[in-house]
């Protein structure tokens, strides 16, 4: 026969649970106890500054002594009163102890070269996230391998650890805290993909030409963007898709018994007429022609089909009104959504804004997007200022003094464009609404001015003007120069 503990209703939240404490104000569930002890301030009853887990008759939060609670929240290690983890130690002491265990170099001491990591992680203002992190066995195994010298503390050493989200998080922490030189995480991911992809190509001549295509056409470009801090996940996806399609094209040509160098217009036309996602090969063929690896052939136009009609301006106004006033929406999302809808900024640029792009000039909030800073209208400026003072994630060790306006989940990184885009999509902020915003702006501001202030390429602004049949004849001429989508 097994003893079953009774399910009881919590006196504070009414949730029906098994575990809790019997306190003077009734049975209190674990989660209400935790919330209570996290609340700190002067006790209204005795005036002492301490955690306030108790409740008086009127439901006001008071300290344990005034509430007659005998449960102790004193940490046996540091003597501080607060939320306890196991073995009657507070969260911060528990985190420090678990970190010391994981970073032990085998002599019972923390490996000296990892002391800075211990110091940084153990002093995080919010130890919860650190405790959750160190709770994962693969995390402890990786830290231990570094501490014992089994894995060298280098980027190459980290590469040899099993792949997975946790590995890149660890790399990010080591970079943020100065134990590894900073390198762009997108570029590193691409380099790993490059190595694996090249190794998987079986035909030596294909491998050779793709190696050159990767090195001269993609790697250099991606490295330059990373250097400028502008490398996005989308750019990697595009490069990967182009390389994969190029490989499919090479196989297609081999089946027709012609190599790239003997490829005729009819072969190329057959590819574009029959292959799936065939246009992704245009970039490769263009590169091959330029580098005389393929005869001079005519390529199909890569003009995009026209986009669906933009949402009505009343729909956009409704979304803007909600972002301005709905406090139920996270402030970061309101601010990001407003920048997209009012300033027609692409999500890829919004997510990568730095705190130094926000300027406070004589009480006005300005944002640097392209050339001269743009003054934000009120109350948008005020919301940006408020957000700047209370950015999420800053209380964890991953984001000390983050330079980003929208810090992400990974150490030292900003939110990714896809993370931000998917959150904004739920609020109705989409590519279509941004384009509608841009069209409206173009109707009001001359394209060259817009291009400068909002950081758009002049060609892009001019092309959109032309689409709107606006009278920017001088700029319309540059349409032919490029058909980049925004």
Which residues in this chain contact Zn ion in the complex, by CB under 5 A? 10, 12-13, 29, 32, 43, 45-46, 63, 66, 75, 77-78, 90, 93
The least distance separating Zn ion from the CB of residue 339, rounded to whole angstroms, comes to 39
Nearer to Zn ion, 68 or 106 (CB): 68
CA 416 to chain centre: 3
d(CA 236, CA 214): 12
- Bridge partners of 110, per DSSP, are 104
Q: How far is the CB of 33 from Zn ion (least distance, A)?
A: 8
| Distance, CA of 342 to CA of 369 (rounded, Å) | 13
Output 66 or 161, the one with its CB closest to Zn ion: 66
| Cα–Cα dist 84/93, whole Å | 9
Least Cβ distance, residue 130 to Zn ion (angstroms): 14
Q: Could you give phi then psi for residue 396, rounded to 5 degrees?
A: -105, 165
Q: Rounded to 10 degrees, what is the CA torsion of 478, 480, 481, 482?
A: 120
Q: Which is nearer to Zn ion, 45 or 419 (CB)?
A: 45
Smallest distance from the beta carbon of 119 to Zn ion, in angstroms?
16
Comparing C-alpha atoms, which of 190, 251, 249 is closest to residue 215? 190
43 versus 260: smaller Cβ distance to Zn ion: 43
Nearest Cα neighbor of 383 from 453, 425, 323, 454 is 323
43: nearest Cα among 26, 22, 64: 64
- Angstrom distance (rounded) from CA 361 to CA 258: 64
Nearer to Zn ion, 16 or 136 (CB): 16
Task: Write down the least CB distance from residue 83 to Zn ion, Å.
Answer: 10
Dihedral sign from CA coordinates of 147, 150, 153, 159 = negative
Q: How far is CA 420 from CA 229, 231, 458, in A?
A: 18, 16, 26
Nearer CB in complex with Zn ion: 36/412: 36
Contact status, residue 358 vs residue 384, Cβ threshold 8 Å: yes
Min. distance of Cβ 334 from Zn ion in angstroms?
A: 31
Residue number, 34 or 192, with CB nearest to Zn ion: 34
Task: Annotate 440-460 with DSSP letters as a single string.
Answer: HHHHHS-HHHHHHHHT--HHH
Q: Minimum distance from CB of 394 to Zn ion (Å)?
A: 23
Other beta carbons within 10 Å of 56 = 15
- Alpha-carbon dihedral sign for residues 9, 10, 11, 13: negative
Cβ at position 128, least distance to Zn ion in Å: 14
State the nearest-atom distance from the C-beta of 246 to Zn ion, in Å: 58
Q: Closer CB to Zn ion, residue 46 or residue 481?
A: 46
Q: Is the CB of 90 or the CB of 384 nearer to Zn ion? A: 90
């Amino acid at each position: 026969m097994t003893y079953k503990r009774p399910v009881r209703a919590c006196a504070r939240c009414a949730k029906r649970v098994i575990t809790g404490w019997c306190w003077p104000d009734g049975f209190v569930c674990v989660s209400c106890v935790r919330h209570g002890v996290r609340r700190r301030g002067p006790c209204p009853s005795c005036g002492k500054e301490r955690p306030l887990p108790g409740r008086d008759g009127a439901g006001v939060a008071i300290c344990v002594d005034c509430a007659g609670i005998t449960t102790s929240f004193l940490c046996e290690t540091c003597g501080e009163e607060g939320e306890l983890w196991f073995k009657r130690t507070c969260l911060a002491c528990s985190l420090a102890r678990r970190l010391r265990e994981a970073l032990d170099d085998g002599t019972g001491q923390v490996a000296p070269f990892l002391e800075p990591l211990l110091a940084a992680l153990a002093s995080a203002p919010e130890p919860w996230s650190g405790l959750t992190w160190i709770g994962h066995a693969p995390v402890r195994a990786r830290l231990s391998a570094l501490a014992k010298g089994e894995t060298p503390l280098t980027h190459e050493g980290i590469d040899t650890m099993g792949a997975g989200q946790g590995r890149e998080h660890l790399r990010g922490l080591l970079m943020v805290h100065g134990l590894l030189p900073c390198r762009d995480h997108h570029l590193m991911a691409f380099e790993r993909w490059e190595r694996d992809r090249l190794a998987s190509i079986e035909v030596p001549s294909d491998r050779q030409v793709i190696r050159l295509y990767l090195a001269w056409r993609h790697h250099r470009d991606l490295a330059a963007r990373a250097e400028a801090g502008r490398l996005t996940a989308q750019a990697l996806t595009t490069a990967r898709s182009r390389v994969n399609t190029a490989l499919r094209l090479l196989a297609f040509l081999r089946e027709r018994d012609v190599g790239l160098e003997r490829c005729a217009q009819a072969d190329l036309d057959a590819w574009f007429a029959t292959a799936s996602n065939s246009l992704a090969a245009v970039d490769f063929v263009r590169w091959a022609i330029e580098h005389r690896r393929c005869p001079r052939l005519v390529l199909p136009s890569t003009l995009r089909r026209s986009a669906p009609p933009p949402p009505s301006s009343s729909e956009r106004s409704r979304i803007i009104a909600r972002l301005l006033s709905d406090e139920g929406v996270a402030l970061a999302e309101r601010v990001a959504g407003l920048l997209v809808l009012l300033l027609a900024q692409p999500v890829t640029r919004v997510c990568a804004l730095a705190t130094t792009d926000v300027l406070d000039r004589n009480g006005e909030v300005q944002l640097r997007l392209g050339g001269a800073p743009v003054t934000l209208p009120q109350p948008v400026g005020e919301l940006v200022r408020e957000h700047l003072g209370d950015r999420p994630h800053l209380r964890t060790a991953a984001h000390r003094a983050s330079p980003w306006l929208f810090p992400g989940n990974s150490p030292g990184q900003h939110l990714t464009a896809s993370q931000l885009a998917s959150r904004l999509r739920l609020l109705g902020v989409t590519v279509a609404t941004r384009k509608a915003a841009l069209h409206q702006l173009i109707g009001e501001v001359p394209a060259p001015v817009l291009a400068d202030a909002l950081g758009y390429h002049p060609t892009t602004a001019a092309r959109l003007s032309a689409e709107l049949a606006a009278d920017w004849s001088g700029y319309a001429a540059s349409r032919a120069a490029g058909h980049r989508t925004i």
